[in-house]
Structure 1
């Protein structure tokens, strides 16, 4: 495909001033607010859960060594739960981003691209 097939003049890229204006816009601030409202608490929750796991592993040997079924002990189950919680948090974030963040980001992008079309 030649450049003539794409149109006469490609849109010019946004300027630094336009990016700064969008960053200061209420729409962008709302996008940042929603992202932070999800990410910060979820990060704190996961880090606290991980810290509890590490502290139990370091100081509660007897508790972590309790057998649950056969050779499977509490420490192994809690370790596997770390992986499960990571996947759950990832799934929650993807769902949150698809519902809350992506539509707002798309609107901001369309506004920026529309300015230059």
Structure 2
């Protein structure tokens, strides 16, 4: 149901208090935030490099190793198809691993920072 009434003065009373800019700068400079960034980067960067390397290897093999990639594995299924499907499997595996890593290590740290900032606001 739509209404033409103006929004209430002072914003939404039900929402959490919004921290000031200084609070964000202080949080970014904190050791707690640096630890959160380090946890993210130590997981994301190596997996990104590994996956891009794996993908480029697949592309290079498709381009320059026709004999190897056309080798039959079972019936009409060749190495190229198996490695291509492995690209999809790898993508889903990385997404699953990241969701576990985020839920176990990143989300609790981020929630602690968020709660502290909202309490200070």
Secondary structure at the aligned position of 2:73 is classed as strand
Per-residue deviation, 1:12? 3.9
Which residue matches 2:26? Answer: 21
Give matches, 1:66-81, under 5 Å: 66-81=71-86
Q: By percentage of residues, which structure has more helix?
A: 1
The size of the alignment, in residue pairs, is 111
TM-score for both structures, normalised by structure 1: 0.89
TM-score for both structures, normalised by structure 2: 0.86
Q: 1:67 & 1:9 partners in 2: Cα distance?
A: 63
Give unpaired runs (5+ residues) of structure 2. 1-7
After superposition, what is the alpha-carbon deviation per residue over 1:34-58, rounded to whole angstroms, capped at 9, x for unaligned?
Answer: 1000000000000000011000000
Q: Is the 8 A contact 2:68 2:79 kept in 1?
A: yes
Give unpaired runs (5+ residues) of structure 1. none
Say what the alpha-carbon RMSD is for the aligned residues: 1.8
Q: 1:65 aligns with which of 65, 70, 88?
A: 70
